[in-house]
Structure 1
Amino acid sequence: MSQKLGLKENWKQFSLLVLINAFVGGMVGLERSIFPQYAQEIFGIESNTAILSFITAFGITKAVTNLMTGRFANRFGRKPLLVFGWLFAIPIPFILMYATSWNWVIFANILLGINQGLTWSSTVVMKIDLVGEKVRGLAMGLNEFSGYLAVGIIAFLSGYVANKYGITPYPFYIGIGISVVGLIMSYLFIKDTRTFVTIEKVSNSTSPLKNVFLDTTFRNRTLSSVTQAGLVNNLNDGMIWGLLPIILLQADYDSKSIGIITAVYPTAWGIGQLFTGRMSDIYSKKGLLFWGMLLQGIAILILPFTEDFFFMVAIAFILGLGTALVYPTFLSAIATATNPTQRAESIGAFRFWRDSGYAIGAILSGIIADLFGVSFAIISIALITICSAGIIKLRMPEKINSEP
């Protein structure tokens, strides 16, 4: 039976990849709501910069791994990288349960960065390989929906378990189950998708990039505009990941309430992508990116000026909606603007810079928070996000080269 591009034609394999990406996202959600409390209770760490060091380690490692995954995807295949990535997840919950120093926590997050770079990048590229050009945005929306919905669900669940049974070890049992099931499913049921690139290459007329990394980073107006927005998106996400629980702790919220608020953001982000992914196939990618970044910036700007629970939930929802507008559109735009043979490498370069934003955001917001206060740090990140929307507006072309 000959292979054909398309979501309908490959729905079984595509659905399995969506499910596996939910397990990938769940590994990040494990830490999302409980880590500042974990740092303070278990290790007595109060410094914002020190607490955010785990996000820095995660972001740098994931960024570099994304770049390598993009370059190795064509050479070694997508499935081997996916399975290899899950092997790095297995030790993480055990290290977090039995860590005797903060250095072990940093090491666990280095492993998490490798796991996320290999597994999430592989599932992204494999879905793009399978579906072809017409529903690429929908494919990315479904991919990111599953991953970030799982981040939200597991963030809430780990916060609930921590509130009921203590900050350790019980929340990390969830991670053991996620990593084992993810590894088994990837090894037994996923097939490699490299051959689909050959099929698409026949009908694709997009000009090859001269230097994939430099064009994605600086030279190509479409790719570089998307890349800077991706970096800033994760810069503000790294700040939210680290500082939002700190704000809520300072406002005397308990673990359960912190879990709810921190879960709303990635849950809205995840569910929203069911719709925004398909929107990026139909509407202007530039418009979706501009409004999404602007909405994020405005939501973050309002954050320091309230401690009301329901207002916090509303801000988290708006922030998630803004992120939902841009996240699948990033990947869809990169895929549209690149030749199929270079797509994995260009996505790897984009994801390198995007996830560098975690480290930059964590370092920047941590230093500003220690020097000038948490509110000043949040406002600074909000203004950077609004400036990123402006760059999209001014630099990115309305039409992407390969679009009709």
Structure 2
Amino acid sequence: MNSSIRLGLKENWRQFTLLVLVNMLVGGMVGLERTVVPLVGTSEFKIGADLVVFSFIIAFGVVKAFTNLISGVLADKYTRKRVLVLGWLVGLPVPFLLAWGPSWRWIIGANVLLGISQGLAWSMTVNMKVDLVGPRKRGLAMGLNEAAGYGAVGITALLTGYIAATHGLRPQPFYIGIVYAVAGLLLSVFVVRDTRPYAQLESAQTPVTTAGEPAHKPGLGWVFRETSLRNSNLFAVCQAGLINNLNDGMSWGVFPLLFISLGVGLEGVGWIKAIYPAVWGMGQVFTGPLADRIGRKPLIVWGMFVQAVGHVVIGAEVWSPLTSGIAGSVLLGAGTAMVYPALLAAVSDAAHPSWRASSLGVYRFWRDIGYAVGALMAGVVASRFGLIWAVHLAGLITFLSGVLVWVKMVPPLKKEAVHLNTV
């Protein structure tokens, strides 16, 4: 083992900072779609069915989820850096397809590529930061990573809304994505260093003490079962991640159409769509280290409850549509900021370093399936009962998910070995 390799945020701050910048660019690629793409479907391509409009989110969520699942395996086989570069190569055509695709099928195709790109690139920025910092500052590392990514989602959603209001829905709002993709690829190829040796160092320092855990590195099937079902803490984390992104998938498709129908202008919709991920992103600078101090479970439970209140504020329409949308988005963002780094850190706590990358991939699989589930649920409910009922149902499901974490999750999670508490 290279004696110059040391774990810690302070010891590796240069590479860590670079990876924060790279993840800002990764997040910006998703922000391209938050405000504009649902309106492209209804206004430019004249799609009347909500489920068809939301099909681009379903495609994105399913593809990203399955890519997350294999990303850890690919990282262990081919190194983190190679997988990161591959993610950017796959994502390079996306802004061009969004800007000039001649039919809705091209937009869906762009989202298939975006899902693969995000599943590879975002997964690697998570794994690489976890590798660098070691176990002590994991919550802080995840908070900074997700703050960078989702802060960029919010800023880009706001910028594309303003550009669309001034220049039209296409192609100008997507020019930003070309800059993101090229910059992310160049940084990943020429500046980022691989971090797998850091994971190997931590693995060598971490004993395997759990009865029933294989002494050798387990296969993906074992990790999938362990993370998804057999360990009660990890089961609670996976379902909460899925429901959290169900909210995001629902809001991604529903909010632009809902608030436009309520008389909110395109700039206002841009603000509503930007505030949610911006608060989500920036809040994690504080909630990440807080998860290290007070534990994962309180932030997860109360974060889900705060999101449920956000749905109530939007669905009850107590104030004007714009005011309700902004207030609800602040609550959704705050609740998600509480949940997101705590969930990632909880998985990293429970999984041994020898199979942590694969376990994170399984968790991110379930989490990002939530995009597809949320969009599908929203499309079906909106078609039958109206867009606002998709918001109501998401709020109820989110509350129940928080209750399930409260009942199932047993703090504190051990940082050195997973305990097989079965569901």
TM-score (norm 2): 0.93
CA contact (8 A) 1:293 1:389 kept: yes
Shift of the alpha carbon at 1:372? 1.2
Shift of the alpha carbon at 1:403? 6.9
SS in 1 for 2:91: coil
SS in 1 for 2:410: coil
Q: Mean alpha-carbon deviation: is it higher for 176-185 or for 35-44?
A: 35-44
Match of 1:298 in 2: 309
Shift of the alpha carbon at 1:309? 1.9
Match of 1:397 in 2: 410
SS in 2 for 1:88: helix
Q: Mean alpha-carbon deviation: is it higher for 146-155 or for 63-72?
A: 63-72
Residue 315 (structure 2) pairs with residue 313 (structure 1)? no
Match of 1:329 in 2: 342
SS in 2 for 1:2: coil
Match of 2:150 in 1: 148
Match of 2:281 in 1: 270
Shift of the alpha carbon at 1:180? 0.5
2: distance between equivalents of 1:172 and 1:308?
A: 27
Match of 2:421 in 1: none
1: distance between equivalents of 2:75 and 2:98?
A: 30
CA contact (8 A) 1:301 1:383 kept: no
CA contact (8 A) 1:205 1:402 kept: no
Shift of the alpha carbon at 1:249? 0.8
CA contact (8 A) 1:142 1:273 kept: yes
Q: Mean alpha-carbon deviation: is it higher for 252-261 or for 155-164?
A: 252-261
Match of 1:134 in 2: 136
332, 354, 362: which one pairs with 1:341? 354
Match of 1:104 in 2: 106
After superposition, what is the alpha-carbon deviation per residue over 1:310-363, rounded to whole angstroms, capped at 9, x for unaligned? 232111111100000010111100000010010000000000010001001101
CA contact (8 A) 2:233 2:410 kept: yes
276, 292, 295: which one pairs with 1:281? 292
Residue 387 (structure 2) pairs with residue 385 (structure 1)? no
Alignment of 1:77-88 (within 5 A): 77-88=79-90
232, 244, 261: which one pairs with 1:250? 261
After superposition, what is the alpha-carbon deviation per residue over 1:152-197, rounded to whole angstroms, capped at 9, x for unaligned? 0000000000000111110011111110011001100001011111
After superposition, what is the alpha-carbon deviation per residue over 1:23-43, rounded to whole angstroms, capped at 9, x for unaligned? 000000001011221112210
Match of 2:96 in 1: 94
2: distance between equivalents of 1:231 and 1:221?
A: 15
Q: Mean alpha-carbon deviation: is it higher for 194-203 or for 350-359?
A: 194-203
109, 112, 115: which one pairs with 1:113? 115
2: distance between equivalents of 1:252 and 1:47?
A: 20
After superposition, what is the alpha-carbon deviation per residue over 1:36-76, rounded to whole angstroms, capped at 9, x for unaligned? 21112210012211111000000000000001101111111
Match of 1:191 in 2: 193
Match of 2:420 in 1: none
Q: Which amino acid aligns with 2:204?
A: V
Q: Which amino acid aligns with 1:6?
A: G
CA contact (8 A) 1:24 1:116 kept: yes
2: distance between equivalents of 1:258 and 1:132?
A: 40
CA contact (8 A) 2:135 2:415 kept: no
- In structure 2, stretches of 5+ residues that fail to align are 418-423
Match of 1:213 in 2: 224
Match of 1:62 in 2: 64
1: distance between equivalents of 2:38 and 2:179?
A: 23
2: distance between equivalents of 1:376 and 1:146?
A: 32
Match of 1:124 in 2: 126
2: distance between equivalents of 1:162 and 1:242?
A: 17
2: distance between equivalents of 1:305 and 1:36?
A: 23
CA contact (8 A) 1:292 1:323 kept: yes
Considering only aligned residues, what root-mean-square deviation do their CA atoms show, in Å?
A: 1.3
CA contact (8 A) 2:352 2:416 kept: no
2: distance between equivalents of 1:221 and 1:180?
A: 42
Shift of the alpha carbon at 1:5? 0.2
2: distance between equivalents of 1:197 and 1:203?
A: 10
Q: Mean alpha-carbon deviation: is it higher for 1-10 or for 57-66?
A: 1-10
368, 384, 388: which one pairs with 1:375? 388
1: distance between equivalents of 2:207 and 2:377?
A: 42
CA contact (8 A) 2:278 2:333 kept: yes
1: distance between equivalents of 2:246 and 2:326?
A: 21
2: distance between equivalents of 1:103 and 1:311?
A: 34
Shift of the alpha carbon at 1:261? 1.1
2: distance between equivalents of 1:99 and 1:365?
A: 25
SS in 2 for 1:85: helix
Match of 2:11 in 1: 9
CA contact (8 A) 2:244 2:304 kept: yes
After superposition, what is the alpha-carbon deviation per residue over 1:287-322, rounded to whole angstroms, capped at 9, x for unaligned? 110000111112112312224322321111111000
- In structure 1, stretches of 5+ residues that fail to align are none
SS in 2 for 1:340: coil
2: distance between equivalents of 1:300 and 1:338?
A: 33
Match of 1:364 in 2: 377
Shift of the alpha carbon at 1:284? 2.2
Q: Across the two proteins, how many residue pairs are aligned to each other?
A: 404
2: distance between equivalents of 1:403 and 1:250?
A: 52
Q: Which amino acid aligns with 1:155?
A: A
